[in-house]
Amino acid sequence: MTRTVYLNGEYLSETEAKVSIFDRAFLMADGVYEVTSVLGGKLIDFGGHLKRLERSLNELDMKKPAAFDDLLEIHRKLVELNGIDEGLIYLQVTRGAPGDRDFAFPDPETTEPTLVLFTQNKPGLADNPTAKKGIKVISIDDIRWGRRDIKTVQLLYPSMGKMMAKKAGADDAWMVEDGFVTEGTSNNAYIVKDGKIITRNLSTDILHGITRAAVLKFAREAQMIVEERPFTVDEAKDADEAFFTSASAFVMPVVEIDGTAIGGGSVGQVATRLREIYLEESIKAGV
Ligand code: PMP
């Protein structure tokens, strides 16, 4: 079935939606994005994703592509048109297509941003069996740029990281800088030790995960202790549990790092509980 996608004000078949070869995201990765999950036909953490989109646009002096109320309507319409019950909505804003290649930013008065949204149908997203057995990660050097807090479409290194993991027989990679884990290739990383949830503090070194914010809030509400600080791979190997969070995987247990089993190699209670709370509360708050 061909999807209906959104491009610059129009709902089109995915085979008809076309973007210029001069688009700045195509030539220079000059674009930002968001991924929002859909559960029971409702958007999860939508307010958080919009807020982060606004921040990414501001940090890069990019023009807003549409009124933010309109973005909610577009998301809802795509869910409806594509009959999505469980899945994802991908949104991308680029600095537009000035009609030639030039390093200087085009004049925003004459070059409109490109706005693209499309759905990904993922039945069974919430009830993912992988969450019951956990995943394996490897550690790799974090050689990305210094503004990882901006959600840009420069995803080459994270893609390479996933391929390195696959080659090593693992599922994903956690990136390490100056001896400390920054984050996963497309998620935020956590360990649990002696009942404490430890995750790297927010800075320009990591993406400020929307799922991270919600999960830490729910953890604190459930009287769990949260320590926001960097941790090492050795600490992770010695932890009682590990997990990651993202808008597409929610809370996902990690049971092995660089070949060493974490918490005896089985899924931990804290991650399992946080996944349950996150799904329950965020589905209730879905829009
Ligand atoms: N870090 C990185 C590098 C990511 O790509 C993502 C997912 N986009 C996350 C963390 C998790 O963020 P969120 O919970 O908002 O999906």
> pLDDT tens across 180-232, in order?
999 999 999 999 999 999 999 999 999 999 999 999 999 999 999 999 999 99
- In the chain, what are the domains? 4-121 (3.30.470.10), 130-285 (3.20.10.10)
pTM of the model: 0.97
- Would you say 173 and 185 are in contact if contact means Cβ atoms under 8 Å apart? yes
φ and ψ at 244, to 5 degrees? -135, 165
Is residue 30 lining ligand 1, measured as CB closer than 6 Å?
Answer: no
- Helix (H, G, I), strand (E, B), or coil: what is residue 187? strand
Residue 75: pLDDT over 90? yes
Contacts of 187 (CB under 8 A, 6+ apart): 172, 209, 244, 245, 246, 249, 252
What are the pLDDT digits (tens) for 160-187?
999 999 999 999 999 999 999 999 999 9
Is residue 188 lining ligand 1, measured as CB closer than 6 Å?
Answer: yes
Residue 1: pLDDT over 80? no
- Which atom number of ligand 1 is nearest to the Cα of residue 148? 3
Query: Does residue 237 carry a catalytic annotation?
Result: no
**Separation of 207 CA from ligand 1 center, angstroms?**
6
> Whose alpha carbon is nearest atom 8 of ligand 1?
186
φ and ψ at 89, to 5 degrees? -120, 125
Among residues 18, 42, 133, 151, the one annotated as catalytic is: 151
What are the pLDDT digits (tens) for 249-260?
999 999 999 999
Residue 68: pLDDT over 90? no
